[in-house]
Amino acid sequence: MINELIHAVALADTPEQLVKAVQNLAAAKDVAAIPTLIAVFGYNNPTAAAIASAALVDLGEVAVPELLAQIDDYNYGARAYSIRTLAAIAHPRALDVLVSAAATDFAPSVRRAAAKGLGRLHWDKLGVPENQTAVQKALETLFFISQDAEWSIRYAAIVGLQGLANLPDLQQPIHTRLQEILATDNEKSVCARVLLALSQ
Amino acid sequence: MIEPSAEEFSTENGPQLTPEVAIANLQSSDLSLRYYAAWWLGKYRVKETAAVDGLIAALEDEADRTELGGYPLRRNAARALGKLGDRKAVPGLIKCLECSDFYVREAAAQSLEMLQDPTAATALIRLLDGGVAKAVQVPGRPHLTQPYEAVLEALGAISAAEAIPLIQPFLEHPFPRVQCAAARAMYQLTQQPIYGELLVKVLEGNDLNLRRVALGDLGAIGYLAAADAIANAKAENSFKLIALKGLLEHQLPQESDTLSISDDAIRVMNLMDSLL
C-alpha cells in the first residue's frame, strides 16, 4: 500500500497529480514515506513541498536523521524547506546544521529559516552539560548574524533571539543585544521587530 | 519598471574599489573602468560630494556609446544618483528624461522616483504625451516608446496630483506591468482602495513575474488590506517579506525616535515571522 503511494509520487507528471499524490502519501503518516517526502522539496512545486513539510513535521523526531542526511547542497529552494522542517520539528540534533546554515549559507531564505529555528529547539532533549554548550552556540550564531548586512537576516535573528530569551539565563544578554540593535539599526522594520520582542 | 530587489544571492564579488579610486575612475581613459565605477558608487552608496559631482558630470558623457547609439555610462550614472539620495542630481536627471537613449530615460525616471523631488513632475508628465495611444512597442526593440512604468511610478512617488487624469487611462494599457504601475500611482495619489485591490487581483493571476511586480507595488504603497493576500501569494518568501516590510513601514511613525508599534504593525510582523 505505502509502496503504491510512494510510486504514485514518482509517476505524477502534472503539478496537480503531484500535489494529489503527495497529499495521499502524507495522509498515510508512514515512516517509510520520509525519503520520498523530502525528495518532493526538490520538485520546484511549492504546494507539494508545503504538504510534504507539514507531513514530516507531523511525523516529528523520527524524520530528523533522514532530513539531516538528505539536505540538498545544490538546490537552495529544497534546502530552505529542509531547514524550515527541521526548525519546526525543533529537535536539538539539528543544531549544527542550523548553525552552519544560518551563518554561512549563501541563500537568504535558508539563513532566515535557520535563524528562526535556532531560537526554538527543544533544549531539554539534550543532557547536562551538552545542553549548555548547545544553547551557547545558538546564542553566538544569532548574535553574529544579527549584524548581517541584509535586513531580513537581522529580522530573522531577532525572531530567533526572542525564542532563546525563554531560557532564564539568556534573558539579560539578549535584552542587552536587542537594545543595541534598537539604538543602531537604520531599518525601521528591524527596530519594530525588536520592540515587539521586548514587549513579549 | 523597478525590479523588487529580492536578492537570493549575496553580491560580495567583483574587484574591490575604494571611494577615492572609484571617483577617479569616472574619468579613466578606460571606458569600462568608468562604467564599473559608476555602478560601484551607487551600489556602495558613496554619498560624498565628489562622487555625486562626478556622477552628475557623467550624465553628459559622450565617449561611451553602444552600436545602437546608447549611453552606457550615462545609464549607470543615472541609476547610481538615485541611490545616493542627493537632490543636487535632480536637474541633471530631468535633462536625461529627454535623452535619445531609452535606458537613460528609464534610469533617470527611476532615480527621480527615489529622490522624490516634485520639481521633476512637469518633465515626467511630458513623457506621457499622446497617452495610451502612443504607448506602443518600438519596432524591433524590447521596450515601449517611453519608460512608462518608471514614469508612472515616479509621478506617484512625488505626489504629482495634477497628473491623475493622465495616469488613469494607463490602467487600461495592454501591458499588465504598465497597468500595475498605473494602479500603484493612482493609489498613492488618491488613497482609494480600488487601486490597491487591482494589485491584489494581480497576486491571484497566473504570471509569476507579474505577481512579483504586484508584491513590489503593494509594498511600495503600503496597502495594509493586502497583508494576508501577500502572505498567501504564490511567490518566493523573499518577495513577500519585502512587500510586508513596506506595509509595516507604513504603519510605523515617521520619526524613528518615537517608534511605537500598533496592533496592525504587530499583525504584519506576525505574518513576516511565519515566512521565515
Q: Give how far B132 is from chain A: nearest CA, Å.
A: 37
What are B6-58's pLDDT values in tens digits? 444 444 545 678 999 999 999 999 999 999 999 999 999 999 999 999 999 99
pLDDT given for residue B257 in this prediction: 60
Residues of B with Cβ-Cβ distance to A183 under 8 angstroms? none
Residues of A with CB under 8 A from a CB of B: 46, 76, 80, 106-109, 112-113, 115-116, 150-152, 155-156, 159, 188-189, 191-193, 195-196, 199
Burial class (CB in 10 A: 0-12, 13-18, 19+), A81: buried
| B234 contacts A46? CB cut-off 8 A | yes
Taking the C-alpha atoms of residue A138 and residue A164, their distance in angstroms, rounded to an integer, is 8
Burial class (CB in 10 A: 0-12, 13-18, 19+), A68: middle
Q: Give how far A107 is from chain B: nearest CA, Å.
A: 6
Asked if B214 contacts B223 with a C-beta cutoff of 8 angstroms, the reply is no
Residues of B with Cβ-Cβ distance to A156 under 8 angstroms? 276
Task: Give the torsion sign (CA, A149, B106, B87, B221).
Answer: negative
Residues of A with Cβ-Cβ distance to B238 under 8 angstroms? 108-109, 152
Q: Give how far A129 is from chain B: nearest CA, Å.
A: 30
pLDDT score of A3 more than 70: yes
| A188 contacts B259? CB cut-off 8 A | yes
Q: Give how far B270 is from chain A: nearest CA, Å.
A: 10
Asked if A116 contacts B233 with a C-beta cutoff of 8 angstroms, the reply is no
Identify which has the larger pLDDT, B59 or A129. Answer: B59
| A151 contacts B276? CB cut-off 8 A | no
Asked if A160 contacts A117 with a C-beta cutoff of 8 angstroms, the reply is yes
3-state secondary structure of B137: strand
3-state secondary structure of B144: strand
Candidate from A46, A80, A188 with C-beta closest to B256: A188
Residues of A with Cβ-Cβ distance to B269 under 8 angstroms? 192-193, 196
| B266 contacts A196? CB cut-off 8 A | yes
φ, ψ at B26 (rounded to 5°): -60, -20
Residues of A with Cβ-Cβ distance to B266 under 8 angstroms? 196
Q: Give how far B225 is from chain A: nearest CA, Å.
A: 18
3-state secondary structure of B35: helix
Q: Give how far A50 is from chain B: nearest CA, Å.
A: 12
ipTM for the complex?
Answer: 0.91
When pLDDT is averaged across residues A119-129 and rounded to a whole number, the result is 92
Taking the C-alpha atoms of residue B210 and residue B70, their distance in angstroms, rounded to an integer, is 28
Cell of A185: 539599526
Asked if A141 contacts A99 with a C-beta cutoff of 8 angstroms, the reply is yes
Helices (H), chain B: 19-25, 31-43, 49-58, 72-84, 90-96, 102-115, 121-126, 131-134, 148-157, 164-167, 176-190, 193-203, 208-221, 227-232, 237-251, 263-274
pLDDT given for residue B16 in this prediction: 74
How many cross-chain Cβ pairs, A to B, lie less than 8 Å apart? 59
Residues of B with Cβ-Cβ distance to A116 under 8 angstroms? 273, 276
Nearest to B25 by CA among B41, B5, B10: B41
Beta bridge partners of B137: B144
pTM exceeding 0.90: no
pLDDT score of A71 more than 50: yes
| A109 contacts B256? CB cut-off 8 A | no
Candidate from B242, B260, B276 with C-beta closest to A112: B276
Measured distance between the N- and C-terminal CA atoms of chain B, rounded to whole angstroms? 27
What are B249-263's pLDDT values in tens digits? 999 987 656 677 899
Residues of B with Cβ-Cβ distance to A155 under 8 angstroms? 241, 272, 276
DSSP state at residue B162: G
Taking the C-alpha atoms of residue B242 and residue B255, their distance in angstroms, rounded to an integer, is 21
Nearest to B221 by CA among B165, B182, B255: B182
Computed over every residue of chain A, the mean pLDDT equals 95
The percentage of residues in chain A with a pLDDT greater than 90, rounded to a whole number, is: 94
Q: Which residues of chain B have pLDDT under 50?
A: 1-11, 13
Cα A166 from chain centre: 18
Least confident of A18-27, A44-53, B6-15, B114-123: B6-15
Taking the C-alpha atoms of residue B203 and residue B228, their distance in angstroms, rounded to an integer, is 11
Helices (H), A62-170: 64-69, 76-89, 95-104, 108-118, 130-145, 151-164
Residue with cell 502534472: A14
Radius of gyration of chain B from its Cα atoms, rounded to whole angstroms: 19
Cell of B260: 511605537
Taking the C-alpha atoms of residue A56 and residue A42, their distance in angstroms, rounded to an integer, is 15
| B245 contacts A192? CB cut-off 8 A | no
